[in-house]
Amino acid sequence: MDFDWSRYEGVLFDLDGVLTSTAQVHAEAWKQAFDRFLATRPEPLQPFDIETDYRSYVDGRPRYEGVDTFLRSRGIELPWGDPSDEPGFDSVCALGNLKNSLFNTVLRQEGTEAFPGSVALIDHLESHGKHMAVVSSSKNAAQVLEASGLAERFQVRVDGVVAADRRLAGKPAPDTFLAAAADLGVEPSRAVVVEDAVSGVEAGVAGGFGAVIGVDRHGDPSGLEAAGADVVVSDLGELVP
């Protein structure tokens, strides 16, 4: 696919599902955490669905916002709690921390890999002097980058930890992408956002970025297109000239 990279100075990549294969690990960890919680409720509730619920309520959002958004879809409200809460079912933060514990267990046991097409695109952009950043809602981004061998490939990382420190609103707000572009010294109109989540595409559009590329690894590009992606590919290798 032809894409004129010469028009842009910077590229801002989401991580899970765009650069690395960890999106499925996240989805499985969410399902385990939510299904354990739902099983404790007195009323019968539909289990967490990886295809529909993950993409609709969790994918791309900060961890605790994802918990709250999904629970509200089932008519459940929990107290927010505190990020220091022990993993469990008593608060939004506790349930989010349970998911994080499950995710880290799988990451330690199985590791993760970068998609070859994504690495090929990174190589191409690097050879042409493009500035690159990772923009992820995950607070595990540093560990995932290390595990996948990509940690040294990016000049800037704005992840869930950085967003909390700077009090940046999470996706679909554009704040984390705008912060990464500023850290790179690139105007949004001269930067490209690369995302696999609808909330991330919406953030790129809201931020006024020069282009938003959607990565569809599910065979259903319609959601990304409807959210405003300028281009949708199934693998980033398609964008290497």
Angle at 22 between CA 188 and CA 108, to 5 degrees: 130
Contact, 12 vs 179, CB < 8 A?
Answer: no
The pairing of beta strand 131-135 with beta strand 231-233 = unpaired
Rg (CA), the chain: 17
Structure letter (DSSP) for residue 130: -
Q: In this structure, what token pair is assigned to residue 86?
A: 């022990």
For the question of residue 14 being annotated catalytic, the response is yes
d(CA 225, CA 216): 10
As a dihedral over the C-alpha atoms of residue 179, residue 183, residue 187, residue 190, rounded to 10 degrees, the angle is: -100
Active-site residue (options: 4, 16, 68, 90): 16
Contact, 196 vs 138, CB < 8 A?
Answer: no
As a dihedral over the C-alpha atoms of residue 52, residue 159, residue 165, residue 209, rounded to 10 degrees, the angle is: -90
Active-site residue (options: 2, 14, 90, 196): 14
169's enclosing H/E stretch is none
The catalytic residues are 14, 16
